[in-house]
Chain A
Amino acid sequence: MKGIISLFITLSVIWLLLSGHTNPLLLSLGLASVILTVIIDHRMDVVDQEGNRISYPPRLITYIPWLAWETIKSNITVAKLILDPKMPIRPNIFTVKASQPGELGKTIYANSITLTPGTVSMSVDGDEILVHAIDQGTADDLLTGEMDRRVTRISGEH
């Protein structure tokens, strides 16, 4: 029930933000579409039962600026590699350990690895992530394990 209510509120807010209409006819049509979506989601059994996804956004606020800064730094590194005429790339493959207990924490970690250019997560097996890195420098950044620690912190008591 908690999941259904939070889904309903989220969908309504998104509908209002995307349409920007406030006249009664369109509002009722929007309400109808939101209710239809919730019913279909319930029938497909994809409504989140735990209802704990809501607790993520406040903790993400400390993580997103750090991730953005890391992304910009490694963007510059990879851009230099592309523009270098000799292209001194040293691709390598290694595994890192994901210490997050839950599925969602692992997903955030693997997605963060991929979002940072220079490292791509190739497959997730249990709590080991196979990573392809384009250069030793970007690989070393990941191997310090700081990203792992930060993701574990935000996905803490799961």
Chain B
Amino acid sequence: MHLLTDTLSWFFLLSGGLAVMIGSLGLLRFPDFYTRLHAAGITDSFGTAAILVGLAFQAGLTLVTVKLLLITVFILLTSPTSTHALAKSALHGQLKPLLKEDGGASSNT
């Protein structure tokens, strides 16, 4: 039983760490602001949830797990809200999105 939870914990922690790294890499690589929002979305949705669930497997059924789940739920609720607020204010600020007609794949940022 202990081995099983340890393995699951490993799996979630490592895949979460990988997702966080990929998300940040995308934040650096993508060509314009609106596409970078998607990269940040990976970090916020999957990376965070996976790392916190991985920690919860280490903690077992205690109040610590409850706190971890509360943090997870809170981040999953607030990160779309702040992403939406960012996108909306960028739209109001007349920031033009890069569309596929412009060629898409460019790396000259």
Count how many chain A residues have C-beta atoms less than 8 Å from C-beta atoms of the other chain. Answer: 36
Chain B 27-51, CB-CB to A under 8 Å as 1, else 0, gives 0011110110111011001100000
Number of A-B contacts (CB under 8 A): 114
Q: Is the CB of B98 within 8 A of A91?
A: yes
**Residues of A contacting B99 in the complex (Cβ-Cβ under 8 angstroms):** 91-93
Q: Is the CB of B100 within 8 A of A91?
A: yes
| Least CB separation from A112: chain B residue | B80
Contact B105 A115 (CB under 8 A): no
CA distance A111 to B82 in the complex (A): 10
Q: In the complex the two chains form, is A88's CB within 8 Å of B105's CB?
A: yes
Judge if A90 is at the interface, Cβ distance under 8 Å. yes
Instruction: Let me know if B8 is at the binding interface, CB within 8 A.
Output: no
Of the residues A14, A75, A132, contact of B37 by C-beta under 8 Å: A132
With both beta carbons as reference points, the residue of chain B lying nearest to A118 in the complex is identified as B38
The answer to whether the Cβ of A117 comes within 8 Å of any Cβ in the partner chain is: yes
| CB <8 Å contact, A114 and B100 | no
Q: Is the CB of A79 within 8 A of B41?
A: no
24 pairs, A vs B, C-beta closer than 8 Å: A71-B45, A71-B46, A72-B46, A75-B19, A78-B38, A78-B39, A78-B41, A79-B22, A79-B42, A87-B105, A88-B104, A89-B31, A89-B104, A91-B104, A110-B80, A110-B84, A114-B81, A115-B45, A115-B80, A116-B45, A117-B41, A120-B41, A121-B87, A134-B35
Please give the residue numbers on chain B whose beta carbons come within 8 Å of chain A beta carbons, in ascending order: 19, 22-23, 25-26, 29-32, 34-35, 37-39, 41-42, 45-46, 63, 66-67, 70, 76-77, 79-81, 83-84, 87-88, 91, 97-100, 104-105, 107
5 closest A-B pairs by CB: A114-B80, A82-B26, A90-B100, A117-B41, A111-B80
